[in-house]
Amino acid sequence: MPEGDVVWYTAKQLHAALAGQVLTRSDFRVPRYATVNLTGQLVTEATARGKHLLIRTGGGLTVHTHLKMEGYWRIVAAGARPPGRSFQLRVLLGNTQWLTAGFLLGITEVLRTAHEDQVVGHLGPDLLGPDWDAATAAVAAERLARKPERPIGEALLDQTILAGLGTIYTAETLFLSGVDPWRPAGSVGDLPALADLGHRLLDANKERAGHATTGDTRPGMDTWVYGRAGRPCRRCGTLIKKGEAGAAGLERVRFWCPNCQR
């Protein structure tokens, strides 16, 4: 599933293509919304909330999408054909300049903007939200501590606690903090600092492709532990470990250094 920085950047691109323009094309390839037509409506904003994308119109409607595991958006010039398989297309929104196309989207729905809380109100503080600050980090820390026996590696992936972290940034955040992913959340000393580190990693990568946490964007050099199982830790040389945890069917992979993360 894409990390929050990918979703943030996708929202930025959609905003640049659609905001301030009247829709001249609207096509929903989802049975429930097949008859919805937004043609003639002004797009006011495209924004991200955690891993959710929200495209708002002046008519008080919001197109809510989620990439899930395989989804993606493509933007092409008006009149061009979107690069993707037509049977995987879920929604087309376009104006006189640009055509945006969402493929394999895990969620595609249209709702009243006033009712957005029904789909994103359950989320925790947004790590890339405009209101992220020390106070927000403290709120996130309080949520992390609500179930003190829960493994911190599992808690950080819970979008109702923190919105935006995926398996990559969770692994990298915990490594840089020296915290074992299996450690109970209640025993982690500085939870606000941990949450803020996740924010800083996402923020540093949101304007570019890839997820570089080491400061080196070259392939194979961009992460400390993620994707490096069985290879030596960049700091101490201990072999990186890999494991899975979570409820049946919802397992998430973890990477960690057993020496650097105690």
Residues with a catalytic annotation lie at 2-3, 51, 252
DSSP the chain: ---HHHHHHHHHHHHHHHTTSB-SEEEE-SGGGTT---TTPBEEEEEEETTEEEEEETTSEEEEEE-TTT-EEEEEETTSPPSS-GGGEEEEEE-SSEEEEEES-SEEEEEEGGGTHHHHTT---BTTSTT-SHHHHHHHHHHHTTSTTSBHHHHTT-TTTSBS--HHHHHHHHHHHT--TTSBGGG-S-HHHHHHHHHHHHHHHTTSSS--SSS--STTSS-SSTT-TTSB-TTT-PBPEEEEESSTT--EEEEE-TTT--
- How far is it, in rounded angstroms, from Cα 67 to Cα 53? 8
- How far is it, in rounded angstroms, from Cα 198 to Cα 92? 33
